[in-house]
Structure 1
């Protein structure tokens, strides 16, 4: 094997072992599509069909997506999420009779996320730092390192901004009875914002690991 072939083999090996991106860790483009389809189906059906038919179509779409994912060999726990999330959302819609309530769980989940992240900042115990410490045995004095604490302040603030932005925008659309707008907001503020927030959290985790964990 000559030098050129060895260099090419090394490059191939590095590419094969390259760490997955944040988007890939969250399911990749497929994960984004899987989370988008139920929203698109519900909003489109609600535009042209009666509410009972919209509920039926949404459930059928969620079930079809679950079967498709199972056929592709995905884990049952992952695949069943396609129909479970839709089932809970349309059950609320059926109970209230209001299409906009398809989005109510996500709206209040964002509110809860904001309260937790913002509250941890005010308490000077940023939640991303708490999580990092728990993942590494729970015995590291991470709050005593100013650089680490600052990194987790930034990461937790990023998470709070994501949660807060989702809640404010979607709650405003909810109060305005803008079901279509809620669908657009759910998609636009879903995976894209999550990836951006995750990048900041991963940076804080790596910075903490580098400073606090022994090398070698």
Structure 2
């Protein structure tokens, strides 16, 4: 009498490593921003998508611009310029929610604007409205530089996830070198912002600080996005599509 076969025990699921989890998070964020090297698209279209189009530009520029203009015209009461800045961020968030579009960018901007305004109101210094931005540049610049120098570029992790190769890019000398220099380039952008803006913050030059923050924002961000996109597309060229046979 034959004994019934016992089905093999299922293999335990492999736990994701920290690099895979981080790569998935970074890659997901890049994909939501329209930066997916696996898809086709002209460079200018990719950059336009990454900055959010006209709406993204307005959400990024108008709150800070309104604060700078109003603070320059009338520094006191401080709550006036801060209130208008936060109010504009809230309007953009409400519009996204009403239109049922992804509100993450606007909500992020609203939270950042509210936190910065709260700090400035607490200290009574208009320059403190820019403290979160200074901290962000320092953190992002350090993370980009350190990760690139130790061979675990954050850009490489994101691209590896998007292209479905995980961390296999680390075995390719050409890719490792490219992601190293891309990481250094992004770190240089963040540290350049910090080097210019921190002395102005310490000198309490609010209007100049706000103006240079705008100038060193999207005008520098967009070209570097374009360079990053072109380098990644060169590292991962699309396979040529098979020609379709002519229909009779």
Q: Fold conserved (TM > 0.5)?
A: yes
Q: Determine the C-alpha separation between the residues in 2 that align with 1:53 and 1:142.
A: 51
Q: Determine the C-alpha separation between the residues in 2 that align with 1:55 and 1:128.
A: 35
Q: For residues 1-34 of structure 1, what are the alpha-carbon distances to aligned partners after superposition, in whole Å with 9 as ceiling and x for unaligned?
A: xxxxxxxxxxxxxxxx955231233212331122
Alignment CA distance shift 1:139-1:42 (3 Å): closer
Q: Is 1:198 aligned with 2:225?
A: yes
Q: Is 1:29 aligned with 2:68?
A: no
Contact 1:42–1:55 (8 Å) recurs in 2? yes
Alignment CA distance shift 1:140-1:120 (3 Å): closer
Name the residue aligned to 2:203.
176
Aligned length: 198
Contact 2:153–2:179 (8 Å) recurs in 1? yes
| Residue 124 of structure 1: how far off its partner (Å) | 3.0
Q: Is 1:189 aligned with 2:224?
A: no
Unaligned 5+ segments in structure 1 are 1-16
| Residue 52 of structure 1: how far off its partner (Å) | 2.7
Of 47, 61, 64, the residue aligned with 1:39 is 64
Name the residue aligned to 1:98.
125
Indicate the RMSD between aligned Cα atoms, in angstroms: 2.6
Contact 1:151–1:207 (8 Å) recurs in 2? no
Aligned residue runs from structure 1 range 62-101, under 5 A: 62-70=89-97, 74-101=101-128
Alignment CA distance shift 1:98-1:162 (3 Å): same
Aligned residue for 1:201, secondary structure, equals helix
Relative contact order, higher structure (CA 8 A, sep 6+) = 2
Q: Is 1:135 aligned with 2:135?
A: no
Q: Is 1:121 aligned with 2:148?
A: yes
Q: Determine the C-alpha separation between the residues in 1 that align with 2:46 and 2:162.
A: 20
Given the two structures, how large is their TM-score scaled by the length of structure 1? Answer: 0.78
Alignment CA distance shift 1:115-1:81 (3 Å): closer
Alignment CA distance shift 1:140-1:186 (3 Å): same
| Residue 125 of structure 1: how far off its partner (Å) | 3.0
Name the residue aligned to 1:8.
none
Given the two structures, how large is their TM-score scaled by the length of structure 2? Answer: 0.69
| Residue 207 of structure 1: how far off its partner (Å) | 2.7
| Residue 73 of structure 1: how far off its partner (Å) | 5.6
Contact 1:128–1:156 (8 Å) recurs in 2? yes
Alignment CA distance shift 1:78-1:138 (3 Å): same
The higher radius of gyration belongs to 2
| Greater helix proportion | 1
Q: Determine the C-alpha separation between the residues in 1 that align with 2:109 and 2:143.
A: 27
